[in-house]
Amino acid sequence: MAVYERAYRPYAGPMTRERTRFLILAKYAFGDVFKSRLFTIVFAAAFLPIAVAASWIYLLHNARALAALNVSASQAAAVDIWFFATLTAWQTFFFGGLITLFAGPGLVSADLSHNGLPLYLARPFSRTEYVLGKTLVLVALLSAITWAPMLLLFLLQSYLEGWSWFAANLRVPAAVVVGSGVFIALASLFAMAASALAKRKMVSQTLLLAVVLGGGWVGGVASALLDTKSALALSPAHVMSAIWQWLFGVDLEVELSAGLAFFAAAAFCAVTLVILNRKLKAHEVVR
């Protein structure tokens, strides 16, 4: 048979580097996340406490503004380690939790429910790169509302207050970065694992809530029955609170040692990685 038209031409454009190829997954996942108006509203609202905190720091160093508000410097709330600990905890637990709940479960569930994962892995993506590409979305979103703006607030306060305040509060940026990093790792892996187990976004969100809330209930009951505070390590919320308490050096009334809290966080991450390793495969056996 004669071939009259040879229209096919191989791709001759630039190739993406192998080391950064997984960023393609994150690029399109970002677009899918911000298609939701509700998520966009929640994400925008997460910056309101940061804006209020920045305004408050400025007002404390503006005598005219304080006089206009009829507030003296002694009456105003001080910007100290408690200020940063409270704001960071609010940003992570409340807004970080909402963003994880809205954006996390949908990152993997759609690929699994529509059998799209084999198509991804048939291309030059490994399972590790697939997980990194999807997880990077949550890491970027949570970083944008936790440690990144908190460090900017710390620098603003240090600039207005002076070198002595900066030197005396160097514990704050370290606590913010480490504590936010632990929370982001736990939240991202929990969301990915719940999505891989349930394969449906709504079911994944329910499972994620059950793990967080149920873990607190189980930890409290086990602590009461066994008469030991070590059982609180089963609760992700208590684990994070104990880590914050140790990092910032403040008393949050959490009766859980920092060493056990860090061990529990590492154990949570290990369990979620095992789940992802078992569930994210290029093929599925149906019986």
What pLDDT sits at residue 177? 95
Across 101-115, 138-152, 168-182, 253-267, least confident range: 101-115
* Predicted model pTM: 0.85
Dump pLDDT digits (tens) for 273-284. Answer: 998 888 877 665
| Residue 62 in this model has a pLDDT that exceeds 60 | yes
What pLDDT sits at residue 226? 67
Residues 152-159: contacts with CB within 8 Å, 24+ apart? Answer: 152/54, 153/50, 153/53, 153/54, 153/57, 153/84, 153/87, 154/84, 156/54, 156/57, 156/58, 157/57, 157/79
Q: Residue type for 120, please?
A: Y
What pLDDT sits at residue 50? 95
Q: Percent of the chain scored above 70 by pLDDT?
A: 85
Residue 160 class from Cβ within 10 Å (0-12 exposed, 13-18 middle, 19+ buried)? Answer: middle
Q: How far apart are CA 165 and CA 49, in angstroms?
A: 23
Under 8 Å between Cβ of 134 and 25? yes
What pLDDT sits at residue 215? 72
What pLDDT sits at residue 76? 55
What average pLDDT is seen over the chain? 82
| Residue 120 in this model has a pLDDT that exceeds 80 | no
For CA atoms 13, 14, 17, 22, the dihedral sign is negative
Number of H helices, E strands in the chain: 15, 0
What pLDDT sits at residue 77? 62
| Residue 18 in this model has a pLDDT that exceeds 90 | no
| Residue 1 in this model has a pLDDT that exceeds 70 | no
